[in-house]
């Protein structure tokens, strides 16, 4: 996380996706780096089903410095994302600026 924060340009934001089973490992680092908010993207399919059907992706919005506010505010829960493959998450999240 230190390296990601170092690479993020001053007065910019970044969206970092994570898996719920790994949130403990990342949460404190994200908080230290500039946690702004939590985002949830609903999927039209389940990636796993046991006691629950996992039909969402989660991300944190991070900031470095004092980025300007967006002209259009994003919601914390997006109704749908389009699956683009396991290595193509950049096309799944809406643009936040």
User: Are 62 and 8 spatial neighbours (Cβ–Cβ below 8 Å)?
Assistant: yes
Percentage of residues in the chain having pLDDT higher than 90: 5
58 contact partners, CB below 8 Å, separation of at least 6: 17, 18, 19, 20, 38, 39, 40, 41
Q: Give CA 50 to chain center in angstroms.
A: 24
Q: Taking the model in full, what pTM does it have?
A: 0.63
What's the confidence (pLDDT) of residue 95? 46
What is the set of domains in the chain, with CATH numbers?
2-91 (3.40.50.150)
For 9, residues 6+ apart whose C-beta sits below 8 A from its C-beta are 64
Position 68 scores a pLDDT of: 92
Q: pLDDT tens-digit profile of 2-38?
A: 777 888 899 998 888 877 777 777 777 777 776 777 7
């Amino acid at each position: 996380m230190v390296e990601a924060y170092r690479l993020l340009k001053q007065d910019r934001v970044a969206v970092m996706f994570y898996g719920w089973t790994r949130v403990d490992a990342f949460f404190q680092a994200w908080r230290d780096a500039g946690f702004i908010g939590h985002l949830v993207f609903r999927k039209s399919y389940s990636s796993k089903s046991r006691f629950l059907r996992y039909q969402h992706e989660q991300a944190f919005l991070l900031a470095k410095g004092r980025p300007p506010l967006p002209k259009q505010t994003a919601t914390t829960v997006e109704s749908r994302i389009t699956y683009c493959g396991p290595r193509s998450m950049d096309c799944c999240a809406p643009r936040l600026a």
